[in-house]
Every structure is written in structure tokens, then in C-alpha cells.
Amino acid sequence: MDVDAFAAAADQLLRELHDRLDRRVSAYDTPGPRVLVAGTPSPMGNAKVHYAVESSGMRIVADESCTGSRYYRDLVDESAEALEGLLDAVADRYFAIDCPCFSPNRERIDHLVEMVDAYRVDGVVQNILSFCHGYNVEAKAVEQALQRKRIPTLKVVTDYSFEDVEQLRVRVEPFREILQARIPA
């Protein structure tokens, strides 16, 4: 997309979102369990897990993935004036990324627990692409950390194809029922 057109569209979206916030207009017509999607990237065109979650009545309120909050979390410190300081700041930012390919990786689990509190999350869907083994390896540690906070998790391992969308829904809908039963009336 043309950079200027993208910037203009982003600015328009930002104004609309601020207006909706001022008017207290939700993104959803009906309430539902608040869910955080964690895990592997969801590049453009690969939103089937998000679709299965939201079309089942859950509300994605946060995204902890390679293509989610990591893009704008821990931004580069621009306060250095010399080139060497700026390069160090860029390196520091990228060393702070808590991708499972780095080990040990307690930072990611700690950040997930913080996000659960910050976004008042009812449950976490771990979205894992078949080839992204680091997330699959960490899935049990994530589940255990969230169990200590009494937050249910659902681990979904899938690929880029769309053949399993209905199978995903069959797994996602009971998860929604579990979360819904835990929400006070």
C-alpha cells in the first residue's frame, strides 16, 4: 500500500476509535468472554483462529504474538544523540523481544501474566503454527503459569490452510462455554 495512503487511513481509523471510545461504543454488539490470543504470528490473511474465536462469541481483547503487541512494546529509546548510542538502543530493543527462540524465556510468560491482569482476560488461546516449535515447547509452561492465576487456556496447533476451520470451531466453542460459565452473572 502507498505509504501516504496507509498513514491517512491509519489516522482516520485512530480518529474513529477515539470517537467510539468517547461515546463508549464497543467493538462488539454483545458481551462475551474476554480472550487473549498468544503465540505464533498471524500474518495478513491468516486469521482463521481469530475468526473461530470471535465468531464463537468470545472477544479478543489482546494479542501477544509475533505480529501483535510485540511490534509496539519496548520501543527503541531515541534519547541518544550519537550514532553509537542509537545503534545500541536498536540492539537493546531487539534483545528485549521475548520470542521462544530465545532461551531461557521467563520474560514472555511473565509478560503474558501481566497482560492477563491488564486486559482483564477470562481465557487465553495459544495459537501455534505447525512449524513454530518454540511456542509449542513453551505451551505447557504458559498453561501452568496461567493455571496458578486460574486462567483457562486452549492450545490450538494449526497451519496456513483453511481446511480445519470447522474443526477449530468444534474445539473453540466448548472453551467459550467454560469461560462463560466462570463469568459472574
Q: What is the pLDDT of residues 4-34, one digit of tens each?
A: 999 999 999 999 999 999 998 888 878 899 9
**Model pTM?**
0.83
**For the ranges 2-16, 67-81, 155-169, which has the lowest average pLDDT?**
67-81
**For the ranges 2-11, 89-98, 148-157, 165-174, which has the lowest average pLDDT?**
89-98
Choose among 88, 63, 68: nearest CA to 78.
88
**The CA-based dihedral angle spanning residues 99, 104, 108, 109, taken in that order and rounded to the nearest 10 degrees:** 140
What's the CATH fold of domain 27-73+99-182?
Rossmann fold (3.40.50)
Q: Is the pLDDT of residue 70 over 80?
A: no
Q: Which three cell numbers stand for residue 181?
A: 460459565
**For the ranges 28-32, 48-52, 180-184, which has the lowest average pLDDT?**
28-32
CA distance 36 to 23: 25
User: Domain coordinates of the chain in residue numbers?
Assistant: 27-73+99-182
User: pLDDT-based confidence at 46, cuts 50/70/90?
Assistant: confident
